[in-house]
Amino acid sequence: MTSSNAPDKMPNAYAVHIEMWGKGDLPLLQQLNAPEMTAHLGGPESAAKIADRQTRYEQLANSTTDKMFKIVLDATGESVGSVGYWERTWHGEQVLEMGWGVIPAFQGRGIASAATSQAIAMARSEGAHRFLHAFPSVENQPSNALCQRLGFTCLGEVEFEYPAGHFMQCNDW
Ligand SMILES: CC(C)(COP(=O)(O)OP(=O)(O)OC[C@H]1O[C@@H](n2cnc3c(N)ncnc32)[C@H](O)[C@@H]1OP(=O)(O)O)[C@@H](O)C(=O)NCCC(=O)NCCS
């Protein structure tokens, strides 16, 4: 027997979709630049660097390979994070690299998993490159869990300098 308020009929308040990054999205970028959001990325960037980043993200609307999306709650239209991919050379080969962030108030609800799945589906349908990598710090438990959950294969540890002068040990997924 079904009923209108059975659990499987309840709308998911944390269902999300992804939208191309746009001109009005600087406030989201500022939220994503908080100290707790950048702990594994060398810390917050300056206001000038964030403004440059906003310009770069807007311009990606014209890119055939690199994409940056905001993560939007279906229920309210609120922007709660970012996910994207871009080309890089890795071991002499062109691959896609992914990155993601969900603002703290919305973490732990499956939002990064859902949004990153959608971005992976987009990258796969575009078919620019065969392989897609992510390089979270070995200490970044949520990001490593996300890679595992989404079916990435861990290829081992690598050292990265990011940003300049800041060295970190990362997993190559
Ligand atoms: C990584 C991040 C995007 C995850 O977002 P989220 O919406 O909370 O992720 P989800 O709810 O989809 O959970 C994904 C996995 O992470 C795990 N996870 C979430 N928060 C966690 C935490 N604090 N500690 C350990 N694992 C955690 C979840 O349990 C899930 O794994 P599971 O499927 O094995 O249970 C978020 O923590 C974040 O924005 N971090 C700061 C930015 C960052 O470090 N970006 C990565 C750069 S490579």
Mean pLDDT by 10 residues, the chain (173 residues): 54 94 98 95 94 97 94 98 97 97 97 98 94 97 98 97 89 98
155 within a domain of the structure (yes/no)? no
Q: 3 CA to middle of ligand 1, Å?
A: 34
Ligand 1 contact, 109 CB (< 6 A): yes
28 within a domain of the structure (yes/no)? yes
Q: Which residue's CA lies nearest to atom 9 of ligand 1? A: 112
72 within a domain of the structure (yes/no)? yes
23 within a domain of the structure (yes/no)? yes
Q: Which residue's CA lies nearest to atom 24 of ligand 1? A: 142
- Looking at residue 4, its pLDDT comes to 45
- Looking at residue 10, its pLDDT comes to 76
- Looking at residue 165, its pLDDT comes to 87
Query: Which structural domain, as residue segments, surrounds residue 39?
Result: 12-134
**pTM listed for this prediction:** 0.93
Q: In angstroms, rounded to a whole number, what is the distance separating the alpha carbons of residues 154 and 148?
A: 8
**CATH code (residue 65):** 3.40.630.30
Ligand 1 contact, 82 CB (< 6 A): no
- Looking at residue 2, its pLDDT comes to 41
Phi, psi of 87 (to 5 degrees): -75, 145
CB 128 within 8 A of CB 87: yes
Q: 83 CA to middle of ligand 1, Å?
A: 13
68 within a domain of the structure (yes/no)? yes
Out of 82, 100, 158, mutate this one to test ligand 1's pocket (max ligand atoms within 8 Å of CB): namely 100
End-to-end CA distance of the chain: 44
Query: What is the number of domains present in the chain?
Result: 1
- Looking at residue 166, its pLDDT comes to 85
> What are the start-end ranges of the E strands in 24-155?
67-73, 79-90, 93-102, 132-133
Q: In angstroms, rounded to a whole number, what is the distance separating the alpha carbons of residues 173 and 171?
A: 6
Of 129, 120, 124, residue with least CA distance to 149: 120
Q: 112 CA to middle of ligand 1, Å?
A: 7
Longest pairwise C-alpha distance within the chain: 62
165 within a domain of the structure (yes/no)? no
